[in-house]
Amino acid sequence: SQQGEEDPQALSIQEGENATMNCSYKTSINNLQWYRQNSGRGLVHLILIRSNEREKHSGRLRVTLDTSKKSSSLLITASRAADTASYFCATDPTGNQFYFGTGTSLTVIP
């Protein structure tokens, strides 16, 4: 299949800790995006990283991309209860559409 696969499937941490989730994919990509989905809501875009970039930051988010390993990671620093959500990576093997995985379900315990 062409979708990214997130790991772990579920993650539970204490507020203030860092959360790291990973995404692996199978074919070459042009871009990779990370999205967040709160329970019962639509997805919200977090960050895009291009294939020629290795790292990007946005606030408390840090995304890395290793195209040789076909993997990306999303780090959320100093987590908050409001970060509780599912996180999806989206990869674009064809260049004009994204394929999503099943996400990592993050629970931040206050």
| Site for another protein, rule CB under 8 A | 3, 30-31, 33, 35, 37, 40-45, 48, 50, 86, 88, 92, 95-103, 105
**CB 103 to another protein: min, Å:** 5
Nearest Cα to 71, choosing from 22, 20, 21?
22
Which one, 31 or 77, has the nearer CB to another protein? 31
**CB 37 to another protein: min, Å:** 8
**CB 33 to another protein: min, Å:** 7
DSSP assignment of 32-90, as one string? EEEEEE-TTS-EEEEEEEETT-SEEEETTEEEEEETTTTEEEEEE-S--GGG-EEEEEE
Amino acid 98 reads F
Residues constituting the chain: 110
Which one, 18 or 30, has the nearer CB to another protein? 30
Which one, 15 or 31, has the nearer CB to another protein? 31
